[in-house]
Amino acid sequence: MSDLNLLPIDVEDDLRSTVRDLLADRCDPVTVTAMYDGDRSVVPGLWKALAADLGLAGLLVPEDRGGAGASAVEAAAVLEELGCAAAPVPFLTSAVVATTLLLDTDSDLLASLAAGERTAALVVPLSVAPHGALPAVRADADGRLTGTVTSVAGAVEADVLLVPTSTGDGIAVYAVATADARLASVVSLDMTRQLADVTLDGVLGKLLLADGEPAVRRALAAGAALLASEQVGVAQWCLQTTVDYLKERRQFGRVVGGFQALKHRLADLFADVESAGAAARYAAVTLAAGDPDAEIAATVAQAFCSDLAVKAAEEAIQLHAGIGMTWEHPLHLYLKRAKADQIAFGTGGDHRARLAHLVELPEPR
Model confidence over 55-65: pLDDT tens digits? 999 999 999 99
Task: Dump pLDDT digits (tens) for 299-348.
Answer: 999 999 999 999 999 999 999 988 888 999 999 999 999 999 999 999 99
Full residue range of the structural domain in which residue 283 is found: 215-358
Check residue 142 and give its pLDDT: 86
Distance of CA 85 to the CA centre of its chain: 13
Domain count along the chain:
3
Picking from 164-173, 230-239, 287-296, 303-312, which range would have the lowest pLDDT averaged per residue? 164-173
Asked whether the predicted pLDDT for residue 182 surpasses 50, the reply is: yes
Query: Considering the domain boundaries, does residue 274 fall inside one?
Result: yes
Check residue 247 and give its pLDDT: 87
| Local confidence band at 85 (pLDDT 50, 70, 90 cut-offs) | very high
Asked whether the predicted pLDDT for residue 2 surpasses 70, the reply is: no
The answer to whether 151 and 197 have CB atoms below 8 angstroms apart is yes
Query: Considering the domain boundaries, does residue 266 fall inside one?
Result: yes
For residue 241, give every residue at least 6 positions away whose Cβ sits within 8 Å of its Cβ, in sequence order, or none. Answer: 316, 331
The answer to whether 225 and 72 have CB atoms below 8 angstroms apart is yes
* Domain harbouring 158, CATH code: 2.40.110.10
Verify that 232 and 302 share a domain, yes or no: yes
Verify that 139 and 263 share a domain, yes or no: no
Asked whether the predicted pLDDT for residue 132 surpasses 80, the reply is: yes
pTM (whole model) above 0.85: yes
Verify that 82 and 178 share a domain, yes or no: no
Asked whether the predicted pLDDT for residue 124 surpasses 50, the reply is: yes
Check residue 296 and give its pLDDT: 96
Check residue 1 and give its pLDDT: 45
Across the chain, what does the average pLDDT equal? Answer: 93
Q: Where is pLDDT greater, at 301 or 12?
A: 301
Q: Which of 164, 185, 211 is the last residue of a domain?
A: 211
* Domain harbouring 109, CATH code: 1.10.540.10
Q: Which of 166, 190, 211 is the last residue of a domain?
A: 211
3-state secondary structure string across 39-80? CCCHHHHHHHHHHHHCCHHHCCCCHHHCCCCCCHHHHHHHHH
Q: Which of 194, 211, 228 is the last residue of a domain?
A: 211
Task: Dump pLDDT digits (tens) for 188-215.
Answer: 999 999 999 999 999 999 999 999 999 9
Pairing of strands 254-255, 250-251: antiparallel
Query: Considering the domain boundaries, does residue 128 fall inside one?
Result: yes
Verify that 289 and 308 share a domain, yes or no: yes
The answer to whether 282 and 301 have CB atoms below 8 angstroms apart is yes
* Domain harbouring 333, CATH code: 1.20.140.10
